[in-house]
């Protein structure tokens, strides 16, 4: 694939985006596959490509803001995210299970979001945590919930002149957390299904409860309706709510993307998480 541009600054990249509609190439692990033509032939795309993976000062790094939000630069790699102390647990777990080591050293969070595959690992925990995406263009900046930015399978709200600059995760403190990805094997496996869940208990009351399913439809699924069945309920009520909650969740996930056995697996994972809360399991991390 001919790389048409290697901008030396972010401003230059934004100008190329505006004037030439150049496609950002970060790790290249998705783009190279999208543009592939066959053995011995260089990948080809219908628009010019610009490399952005070296713009570390402007698009890299992971930091914690004063309000406790964690800001992950768009070109932070899965390996950097997996090994960061400040990145929330669910996101670290997802990053550490992406592909194999070599892939994790190249694959970026901006690329994972930009590709918007329903099987991509990072959007699922990020949407659980109400993460926002920061988008920049030569004309300014906008910020929106990642859940709104990803519109469907391989479809985002990215404008032709924009670049994903960073992802902002608001602070959370959970009493219980759950993450699981199921693939064909442990390493180098695209997700068949994944689930994150989290709950906060205060004085015997569930004050926060959330769950998100990956590879379960055209985009990550969160059902606020199902979540609200558990929130503000005493822990001792949960057992009685479980059947209705599981039914509501089952309605939310797409029957086309999820055959019955995968839906059953999702129900079992949610049941395991809810049981841990009811039983007051002390660890916090539910496996």
Compare residues 170 and 183 and give the one whose CB is closer to ligand FAD: 183
Closest by Cα among 44, 106, 108, 104 to 75: 108
Stretch that binds ligand FAD, among 21-29, 203-211, 225-233, 271-279 (CB under 6 A): 21-29
| C-alpha distances out from residue 60 to 88, 121, 164, 170, 281, Å | 18, 20, 11, 19, 38
Q: Which helix (H) or strand (E) holds 206?
A: strand 205-214
Min separation Cβ 111 and ligand FAD, Å: 2
Should residue 110 be labelled a site residue for ligand FAD when binding is judged by CB under 6 A? yes
Min separation Cβ 193 and ligand FAD, Å: 13
Min separation Cβ 283 and ligand FAD, Å: 26
CB 22 within 8 A of CB 50: yes
Should residue 98 be labelled a site residue for ligand FAD when binding is judged by CB under 6 A? yes
Residue closest to ligand FAD, measured at CB: 111
Spatial distance between the Cα atoms of 217 and 253, rounded to a whole number of angstroms: 6
CB 36 within 8 A of CB 42: no
Binders of ligand FAD in range 30-89 (CB under 6 A): 30-31, 33, 52, 74
Binding residue for ligand FAD (CB under 6 A) from 111, 118, 125, 217? Answer: 111
CB 189 within 8 A of CB 214: no
Give the x-and-dash track for 172-211 against ligand FAD (CB under 6 A): ----------------x-x---------------------
Stretch that binds ligand FAD, among 20-28, 192-200, 232-240, 273-281 (CB under 6 A): 20-28
CB 32 within 8 A of CB 178: no
For residue 148, what are its two tokens? 């709104």
User: Positive or negative, the Cα torsion across 221, 173, 280, 90?
Assistant: positive
Distance between the two ends of the chain, CA-based, in angstroms?
43
Binding residue for ligand FAD (CB under 6 A) from 7, 35, 88, 114? Answer: 114
Binding residue for ligand FAD (CB under 6 A) from 60, 81, 112, 266? Answer: 112
Closest by Cα among 115, 27, 28 to 75: 27
Q: Which residues bind ligand FAD (CB under 6 A)?
A: 23-31, 33, 52, 74, 98-99, 103, 106-108, 110-112, 114-115, 120-121, 158, 163-164, 188, 190
């Amino acid at each position: 694939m001919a790389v048409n541009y290697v901008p030396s600054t972010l401003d230059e990249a934004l100008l190329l985006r505006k004037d030439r509609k150049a496609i950002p190439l970060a790790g290249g692990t998705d783009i190279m596959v999208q543009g592939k033509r066959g053995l011995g032939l260089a990948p080809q795309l219908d628009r010019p490509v610009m490399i952005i993976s070296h713009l570390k000062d402007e698009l890299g790094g992971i930091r914690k803001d004063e309000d406790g939000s964690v800001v992950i630069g768009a070109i932070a790699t899965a390996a950097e995210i997996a090994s960061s102390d400040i990145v929330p647990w669910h996101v670290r777990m997802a990053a550490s299970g992406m592909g194999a080591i070599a892939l994790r050293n190249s694959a970026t969070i901006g690329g994972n979001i930009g590709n918007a595959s329903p099987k991509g690992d990072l959007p699922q925990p990020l949407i659980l945590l109400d993460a926002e995406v920061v988008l920049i263009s030569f004309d300014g900046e906008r910020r929106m919930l990642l859940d709104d930015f990803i519109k469907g399978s391989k479809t985002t709200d990215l404008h032709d002149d924009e670049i994903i600059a960073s992802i902002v995760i608001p602070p959370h403190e959970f009493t219980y957390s759950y993450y699981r990805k199921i693939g064909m094997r442990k390493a180098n496996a695209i997700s068949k299904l994944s689930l994150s869940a989290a709950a906060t208990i205060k004085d015997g009351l569930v004050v926060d409860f959330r769950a998100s399913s990956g590879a379960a439809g055209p985009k990550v699924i969160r059902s606020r309706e199902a979540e609200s069945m558990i929130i503000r309920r005493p822990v001792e009520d949960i057992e009685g709510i479980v059947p209705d909650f599981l039914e509501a969740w089952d309605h939310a996930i797409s029957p086309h993307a999820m055959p019955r056995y995968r839906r059953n697996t999702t129900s079992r994972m949610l049941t395991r998480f809810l049981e841990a809360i009811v039983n007051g399991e002390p660890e916090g991390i539910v496996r």
